[in-house]
Chains A and B, each alone.
Chain A
Amino acid sequence: MSGPDASWLIRFHVGGAEAALPLRVVREIVARPTVVPVPGSHSFVSGVALLGGVALPVYDLRAFRPFWSAAGPDRGGPSGEAGEHLIVCDWGEARLGLLGDRVDLLEQCGQGAGLEDATEDRCAVSRAFVRDVVRRDEEAVVLLDPVTLFASLGVPAAGPPRAMEGAGEDDPAGG
């Protein structure tokens, strides 16, 4: 049962860290699609995937160095994990995907343990990206701050209207 202060989170595993995002920013979870690398893109962009006719940028947080504390990614987890799932997020007019493993729904009841639990010796994620820490079964799940995270990844909070599903380029011939 959900209490009055409960909110739902999407929990996932990335780079040895247990992280979560508010469910309201998550559009869907899909199995990792074919991702095409895009030369010239940021190093933390794995590439793009075609999802519903939209070119979805796919981000690998393990390659985004500012996201991690001094310990870096992969602490406490297997190195080289691929990201079995894609967490598709809507942010402003943009849509993006984050690679993650062990994706699950998590209920947050009331306030979490607070940022004190996110000190860098307990959490591999840099504190700048942590809004709160949720304790579950002796495990700390860091609730990420989507405003800071997506802005740091270069995702605009607002911009031109998103390409609608199935809509491609303008036909210069007018067709």
Chain B
Amino acid sequence: MKFLMVSVGQARYAVQADVVRRILDPTQEEDLHLEQSGAVFQGERLRLIDLRAAAGAPPARALLYLLLEGSRSRAIVPVDGTESIRDVAPADIAPLPPFIFARPARVFRGVFSDGPSPRLVLDQDGML
């Protein structure tokens, strides 16, 4: 399964590559407008999934925006950088125990070993 490796502040995450429709550079995209709780891209209002805020980190302007598309909806995820696209075997992804989450709608579903520290996998089914 292919994943796009991204960074948000000090955190490193993996996004299933087949849900990433576009990687948007806000300095190049005139059709991308960010609002307090969402984003408008090419006239479409989209949910903004702020991983930095979810991690309790101070707000900062993201360098890139991922346009994700799932089976039910689309969303914008601000990130600081994209690192690579890599193949990760499903057997290498350890599922996160659901009881650690404060709310039923969770953003992450698993974790795998990746160099100095494990990397979390976004839960596209929970988000989109």
List chain A positions with a Cβ less than 8 A from chain B.
34, 36-43, 45, 48-50, 53-55, 57, 94, 96, 154-156, 163, 166-172, 175
Give the complex CA separation of A163 and B95 in angstroms: 8
CA distance A41 to B116 in the complex (A): 22
B94, chain A: closest CB distance, angstroms: 4
Check: B61 CB closer than 8 A to any chain A CB. no
Complex Cα gap A167–B110 (Å):
12
Interface pick from B19-27, B29-37, B39-47, B84-92: B84-92
A interface footprint on B68-108 (CB within 8 Å = 1, 0 otherwise)? 00000000000000000000011111111101111100111
CB atoms of A41 and B100 under 8 A apart: yes
B residues with a Cβ closer than 8 A to A are 1, 11, 51, 54-56, 89-97, 99-103, 106-108, 110-113, 116-120
- Known contacts A55-B110, A155-B99; is A36 also within 8 Å of B120 by CB? yes
Interchain CB contact under 8 A, A37 and B11:
yes
B52 to chain A, nearest CB (A): 9
Given A40-B101, A168-B95, list of 20 further CB < 8 A pairs?
A: A34-B116, A36-B111, A36-B120, A39-B11, A39-B55, A40-B54, A40-B108, A42-B100, A45-B100, A48-B111, A49-B118, A50-B94, A50-B118, A54-B94, A55-B95, A55-B110, A57-B97, A94-B99, A168-B90, A171-B90
Which B residue's beta carbon lies closest to that of A162?
Answer: B97
A interface secondary structure, majority:
loop
Chain B residues lying within 8 Å of A39, measured Cβ to Cβ, are 11, 51, 54-56, 107-108
Query: Using Cβ atoms and an 8 Å threshold, which residues of chain A touch B102?
Result: 40-43
- Asked if A34 meets B108 with Cβ closer than 8 Å, knowing A41-B101, A55-B95, the reply is no
Contact A50 B103 (CB under 8 A): no
**Given contacts A50-B113, A55-B110, A38 and B89 within 8 Å (CB-CB):** no
Given the complex, which residues of A lie within 8 Å of B91, measured CB to CB? 166-169, 171
Instruction: Sample 27 A-B pairs with CB under 8 A, ordered by A number.
Output: A34-B118, A36-B118, A36-B119, A37-B55, A38-B96, A39-B11, A39-B51, A39-B55, A39-B56, A40-B54, A40-B106, A40-B108, A42-B101, A48-B111, A48-B118, A50-B111, A50-B118, A53-B94, A55-B110, A57-B97, A57-B100, A155-B99, A168-B94, A168-B112, A169-B95, A171-B90, A171-B91
